[in-house]
Amino acid sequence: MATVSAVIIPSQKKKDGTWNVKIRVNKDGRSTYLETSHFVNAKQIWKKNQIKDPKLLAMLNPILTEYRLKIGELGTKLSSFTSSKLAVNLTKEEVKAEDINVVEFGRRRVQELKKANRSGSAKNMQATINGLIDFFRTEDIRITDIRVNMLQSYEQFMRSPRTQIRPDQFNRPRKRELAGMTTNGVHNNMRDLRILFNCIRDFYNDEDEGVMIVKHYPFRKYKLPQVEPTNKPKLTVEQVIAIRDFVVEPDSRIELARDLFMLSFYLCGMNSVDMYKLPLPDASDERVNYNRSKTKGRRRDKAYISIFIPDVAKPLYMKYAGTLKNRYVSQYSLNYAIAYGIKKIGKALGFKNPEFYNARHAFGDLARNRCRFSMDDVGLAMNHKDNSNRVTDVYVSKNWDIIDEVQSAVINLLTNHDLAVQHRLSNNGIQISREV
């Protein structure tokens, strides 16, 4: 069933006290909102946010009637439409590119990503929207405003120091002084803006039907800055051990950071978000099987991986798996607590700019440069490789033995170092073995 109605969105009240009137297209319980040229104030709406102004209704009713007739003409085809596709079908003859509000579209996309449990992508999309509002100094940004010259100016804007204003937890405006972004930061932000632009084109354009509402594509001429390799030194075996053996106060954020850092290292660089999502463990668990949150939405194999739980990691796994959701309201709260603890540990040990992600970097670096595994094997262990994309992999069965070998060899570096210290030998006094 599909319906159309004229409504306002209460949360989108403008500074002058008015709301834009939307046409809500509802299909199977999901809604898409179409912007109109009409605005109303509080006197023109009922308590349930419905339009009561008779003159305005007289202008809106013919539009609603036309849309209802179009829906009826679809007949059995209607079952194949989502609310968003139906909205495009209803308006494809009247929507112009200059009518498309990038901010409103982006906010709808953020909600879609959240419903799909893609919180990381939703956060990036929201940051993109905020950046555009900062640059244009308005929320009225049309798709036609996104041009090559604008992208070039926007890049310079991001590279420059600026004052950022964001609401705090009580919705009060707070100022932050920001340094200019690095090249890698600019790359990530422009990449996310391109994703948003592509989403808008895909939503409004229909090449099969010859509908091309958004005709321009500035990213064809504008090129994103190339990602620069980071020169930040990776942690050594001795530094990883120093973190492992760091004395902490029980039940503190520093203990949490130390433990999860080492758990990540032991489990081939598992990310904190995936630790946050771990189910309650069983003492008989020998492996942890999961889909890597960061990449499961863009890989054919859903970024699935199976990691052996070594004896050295078992106490930490049993302690934290399935409990982090009870301690922290979101993965971001967990990340904040970890970051606090890691900074305290790093400062005490004299490490420069320590991060939780250093555990993952250290695992990969040691696997390649100390244990001499191939880049393919290291990538497989760190869940970088999509086994479903290569023709050869179609003929090779999935086997976790290679990952287990990489994992045990890296952990064995720590074991060998401990033995060397115990027997007062140098690092060269014990042969590094791939056997546990």
* pLDDT, tens digit only, all 436 positions of the chain: 899 999 998 888 888 889 999 999 999 888 888 888 899 998 888 877 788 889 999 999 999 999 999 899 888 888 888 888 888 778 766 678 998 999 999 999 998 888 887 888 898 999 999 999 999 999 999 999 999 999 999 999 999 998 888 776 677 778 888 888 999 999 999 999 999 999 999 988 877 667 788 999 999 999 999 988 777 788 999 999 999 999 999 999 999 999 999 999 999 999 999 999 999 999 899 999 999 988 887 778 788 999 999 999 999 999 999 999 999 988 889 999 999 999 999 999 999 889 999 999 999 999 999 999 999 999 999 998 655 555 555 455 567 999 999 999 999 999 999 988 887 765 554 444 444 3
Q: What pLDDT score does 386 carry?
A: 59
Pairing relationship of beta strands 162-167 and 30-40 according to DSSP bridges: unpaired
Q: Which residues contact 363 (CB under 8 A, 6 or more apart)?
A: 264, 265, 268, 269, 381, 382, 410
**Please, what's the b/e burial string for 228-254 (b: 16 or more CB within 10 A of its CB; e: otherwise)?**
eeeeeebbbbebbbbbbebebeeeebb
Compute CA distances 357 → 173, 270, 308, 339, 368, whole Å: 31, 9, 20, 10, 17
**What pTM did the predictor assign?**
0.65
The answer to whether 337 and 253 have CB atoms below 8 angstroms apart is yes
Half-sphere exposure of 82 (CA within 13 A, CB side): 7
In this predicted structure, what is the pLDDT of residue 434?
A: 46
Enter the CATH code of domain 237-429: 1.10.443
Residue linked to tokens 């009137």: 21
pLDDT given for residue 432 in this prediction: 43
Q: Write down the residue that tokens 């130390």 correspond to.
A: 258
| CA pair distance 28, 2, nearest whole angstrom | 7
Three-class secondary structure of residue 5 per DSSP: strand
Quote the CA–CA distance of 40 and 4 in Å, as a whole number. 19
**Which are the contacts of 146, defined by CB distance < 8 A and separation ≥ 6?**
102, 193, 197, 218
H helix or E strand, kind and range, residue 64: helix 54-74
Residue 9 Rama label (left phi>0; alpha psi -120 to 50; beta):
beta
**Residue at token pair 């979101």:** 330
Tell me how far apart the alpha carbons of residues 378 and 279 are, in angstroms, rounded to a whole number. Answer: 26
- pLDDT at site 12: 87
8 A C-beta contact, residue 212 and residue 93: no
pLDDT at 430 (0 to 100): 46
pLDDT on residue 49? 76
Q: What one-character DSSP code corresponds to residue 36?
A: E
Residue type, 395: Y
- Can you tell me the distance from the alpha carbon of 386 to that of 410, in angstroms, rounded to the nearest whole number? 22
Torsion of CA 20, 21, 25, 29, to 10 degrees: 80
CA 342 to mean position of chain CA atoms: 22
Check if the beta carbon of residue 68 is closer than 8 Å to that of residue 4. yes
Query: What pLDDT was estimated at residue 396?
Result: 54
Question: Please, are residues 127 and 192 in contact by the beta-carbon 8 Å criterion?
Answer: yes
- In the chain, where are the structural domains located? 2-94, 102-220, 237-429
